[in-house]
């Protein structure tokens, strides 16, 4: 077997082995729990049990029922994955719906076999909710060339076959644009967006008075908010707005949008008339040779691009915030959730310190010593903190092999101990001698100095 195949196969074998081990352990734990319950029920019959033992027995029964429900739910999920349309076991008996008219079943799906489900529920009514407020026509490059000759298409690419491309569009004029592939309405990166803005501005300057004023506005995630807001401002009379992603009708003020994928889900620009997609997208590609993933520009099929025609209705206005007077609060929550980095402070290290405050050690002259009992302890040489030698550490447990080694070591601040455990530590015990210099080497005796 080739080395690349081995690298790709070993992670899958590890995952499969892990799943088999977890399934086996789950079965063993459930059998052990059932055996304990049977022993207590058959041997004692709940008569000789104390109140605490009876509570423990009830807890074990509840735990067993939850484990069975979880196992049943897993089997149900596996069945749903194996079949495209799956009807739950609880709703298969039609007598439930016939003799209990107050029971209402609502099935919602965008790809539902409506006739099959309606026939199963005694020809229940089917409601179709349109997803758009206006018709959307989807054309591909050949359809555009044949049926929409008045439509002007702008495509920029460094590897474009100009003769073939011009012949495809009835010998339309083609401008050579150096650089990377740069088609209209692909989701570019920041550098590509800025390059597109410069190219459009240069083309407008060359055309001069033959072209009305054209506003070129970039839009991408890292763009400052005040510059992003410019694409939502009304277009001045007699001008067109071109956001590397927006175009409107001509001679009216129209919009043409060319942007990153921020225009797909994050923002909504009203007045969109045409959406141009060159057929390229960035997909994750795994290299078995290097073991890394990278974004590669690849041609995309038609199906993944169909979501581009979804309604361009903002999500926030659909929330009934004004009715309840909570628009400002909802916007605040939405803004906080849109931040990639966490805005909340989660003191994980301090939380661990609150649970293991009695397992602390301090760096002394001869090594580490526990704070309370002054017992010599050591950090294992394989630990990441062995070379750092932090002044205060917290450990999970002590293991005595050749020395008393600390396991699961964490660097902490001595001030946390007095904060989380003032009943256990005193301030004088936690005095940090960081102002005093620590000796780099152990001192020598008089005999060694000679």
- Specify the pTM: 0.33
Q: Which two tokens stand for residue 99?
A: 């003799």
In a structure prediction context, what are the per-residue pLDDT tens digits for the chain, which is 450 residues long?
556 566 667 777 888 888 888 888 888 888 888 888 887 777 666 566 777 877 888 888 888 888 887 777 666 566 555 555 555 554 554 566 667 777 777 777 766 778 888 887 778 888 876 655 566 677 666 555 455 555 454 444 444 455 555 554 555 555 444 433 333 333 455 677 777 777 777 877 787 776 666 677 777 777 777 777 777 777 666 555 554 444 433 444 345 556 766 655 556 666 666 666 666 677 777 777 665 667 777 777 666 666 566 554 455 556 677 778 888 888 888 777 766 555 556 778 888 888 888 889 988 888 888 888 888 888 888 888 888 888 999 988 888 777 888 888 999 888 888 888 888 888 887 776 555 555 555 555 555 555
Pair 406, 363: CB distance under 8 Å: no
Pair 259, 187: CB distance under 8 Å: yes
* Cα(282)–Cα(286) distance, integer angstroms: 13
Pair 409, 383: CB distance under 8 Å: yes
* Cα(220)–Cα(162) distance, integer angstroms: 29
Pair 277, 185: CB distance under 8 Å: yes
* Cα(330)–Cα(249) distance, integer angstroms: 35
Pair 310, 131: CB distance under 8 Å: yes
* Cα(414)–Cα(186) distance, integer angstroms: 54
**What is the helix (H) or strand (E) element at residue 256, kind and residue range?**
strand 255-257
Nearest to 121 by CA among 138, 106, 102, 140: 106
* Cα(425)–Cα(418) distance, integer angstroms: 6
Domain boundaries, the chain: 18-82, 89-120, 141-273, 314-343, 348-430
Beta bridge partners of 244: 257
**What is the helix (H) or strand (E) element at residue 411, kind and residue range?**
strand 410-411
Q: Which phi-psi region, left, alpha or beta, contains residue 199 (left: φ > 0; alpha: ψ -120 to 50)?
A: alpha
* Cα(265)–Cα(313) distance, integer angstroms: 11
DSSP class of 438? P
């Amino acid at each position: 077997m080739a080395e690349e195949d081995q690298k790709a196969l070993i992670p899958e074998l590890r995952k499969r082995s892990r799943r088999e081990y977890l399934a086996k352990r789950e079965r063993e734990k459930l059998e052990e729990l059932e055996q304990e319950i049977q022993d207590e029920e058959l041997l004692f019959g709940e008569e000789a049990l104390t109140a605490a033992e009876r509570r423990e027995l009830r807890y074990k029964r509840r735990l067993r029922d939850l484990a069975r429900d979880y196992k049943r739910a897993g089997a149900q999920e596996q069945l749903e994955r194996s079949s495209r349309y799956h009807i739950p076991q609880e709703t298969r008996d039609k007598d439930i719906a016939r003799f209990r008219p107050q029971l209402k079943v609502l099935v919602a799906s965008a790809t539902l076999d409506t006739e099959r489900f309606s026939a199963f529920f005694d020809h229940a009514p089917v409601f179709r909710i349109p997803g758009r407020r206006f018709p959307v026509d989807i054309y591909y490059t050949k359809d555009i060339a044949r049926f929409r000759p008045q439509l002007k298409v702008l495509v920029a690419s460094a590897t474009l076959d100009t003769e073939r491309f011009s012949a495809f569009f009835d010998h339309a004029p083609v401008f050579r644009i150096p650089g990377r592939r740069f088609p209209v309405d692909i989701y570019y990166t920041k550098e590509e967006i800025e390059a597109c803005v410069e190219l459009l501005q240069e083309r407008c300057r060359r055309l001069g008075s033959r072209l009305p004023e054209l506003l070129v506005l970039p839009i991408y995630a890292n763009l400052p908010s005040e510059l992003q807001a410019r694409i939502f401002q009304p277009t001045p009379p007699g001008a067109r707005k071109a956001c590397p992603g927006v175009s409107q009708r001509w001679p009216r003020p129209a919009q043409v949008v060319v942007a990153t994928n921020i225009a797909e889900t994050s923002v909504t620009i009203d007045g969109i008339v045409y959406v141009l997609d060159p057929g390229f997208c960035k997909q994750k590609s795994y290299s078995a040779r290097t073991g890394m993933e990278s974004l590669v520009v690849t041609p995309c099929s038609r199906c993944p691009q169909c979501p581009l025609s979804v309604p361009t209705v903002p999500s926030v206005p659909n929330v009934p915030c004004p009715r309840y007077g909570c628009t400002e609060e909802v916007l605040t929550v939405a803004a906080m959730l849109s931040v990639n980095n966490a805005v909340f402070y989660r003191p994980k290290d301090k939380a661990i310190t609150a649970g293991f405050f009695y397992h602390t050690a301090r760096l002394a002259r001869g090594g580490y010593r526990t704070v309370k009992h002054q017992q010599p302890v050591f950090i294992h040489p394989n630990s990441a903190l062995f070379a750092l030698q932090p002044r205060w550490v917290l450990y999970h447990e002590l293991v005595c092999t050749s020395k008393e080694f600390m396991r699961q070591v964490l660097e902490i601040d001595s001030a946390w101990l007095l904060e989380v455990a003032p009943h256990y530590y005193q301030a004088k015990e936690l005095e940090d001698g960081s102002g005093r210099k620590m000796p780099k080497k152990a001192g020598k005796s008089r005999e060694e100095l000679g």
